[in-house]
Amino acid sequence: MSAILPPSDRLWWKQPIDKVEWAWIAIAFVWGMIMFAMMIYWHVYGKQNLSNEAYKTTPELFGAKAEKFIAENTIRTETDQNIPVVKVPAGGDGYLIARLWAWYPILELEKGQTYKIHLSSMDYAHGFSLQPVNINIEVLPGYEHVVKMTPTKEGTYAIVCNEYCGIGHSSMLGRIYVK
């Protein structure tokens, strides 16, 4: 039989299925059921799931809340752009703004403390990717995403925008310090 020519027997679907094909069908089905069960297991017991909430807001309202938080908690500024470094109160709420082409401000957290980080976009869809932890959240304008975080290691963590947001997308980087 050739792949170019039509089958000689026009009713090919009425042919009996070979044992080897049945074996592969059974293997695929069993593997599918195992992976289905593992999805439920990973959701309940995996540490990769974020406990997050989302609320409707406006860029103006979120911006006002974030600016108030920044004004009350700024400890220093960094870079030539004088980006504020904001110490989030232990167990408190921190605000992070996504806007053309920056994450604002830089947050400073304490190891072992649990925080609620509020994220929102002022303009376009942005992607919040915390590296090297690999937390990924799509940040949309008009929504306030609240993510619970408990840092377990000290260091500097990079925030990368992983949703194309225009010509300056590749420079949309931010930081979180864990002390």
pLDDT in tens, 23-33: 999 999 999 99
Same domain, 59 and 16: no
pLDDT score recorded for residue 49: 62
| Range 35-44 average pLDDT | 89
Q: With 0-12 CB in 10 A as exposed, 13-18 as middle and 19+ as buried, what is 8? A: exposed
Model pTM score:
0.72
64 located within any domain:
yes
Same domain, 159 and 133: yes
Number of domains in the chain: 2
Q: Helix (H, G, I), strand (E, B), or coil: what is residue 158? A: strand
Same domain, 149 and 78: yes
Q: Which of 106, 64, 113 is nearest to 86 (CA)?
A: 106
Q: Which of 131, 75, 147, 153 is nearest to 108 (CA)?
A: 75
**CA–centroid distance for 23 within its chain:** 39
Same domain, 68 and 27: no
133 located within any domain:
yes
pLDDT score recorded for residue 20: 92
20 located within any domain:
yes
Same domain, 21 and 89: no
Residue range 79-136, pLDDT digits in tens: 888 888 899 998 899 999 998 888 989 999 999 899 999 999 998 889 888 888 878 8
pLDDT score recorded for residue 118: 93
Same domain, 33 and 62: no
Same domain, 24 and 91: no
Q: 26 is in which domain, residue-wise?
A: 12-45
Q: Place 5 in a pLDDT band, splitting at 50, 70 and 90.
A: confident
Of all residues in the chain, the percent with pLDDT exceeding 70 is 94
71 located within any domain:
yes
Residue 147 and residue 137 in contact, taking contact as beta carbons nearer than 8 Å: yes
Same domain, 28 and 111: no
**CATH code, 108:** 2.60.40.420
Same domain, 104 and 173: yes
pLDDT score recorded for residue 1: 54
* pLDDT(41) > 60: yes
| Range 7-18 average pLDDT | 75
7 located within any domain:
no
pLDDT score recorded for residue 131: 86
Residue 162 and residue 98 in contact, taking contact as beta carbons nearer than 8 Å: no
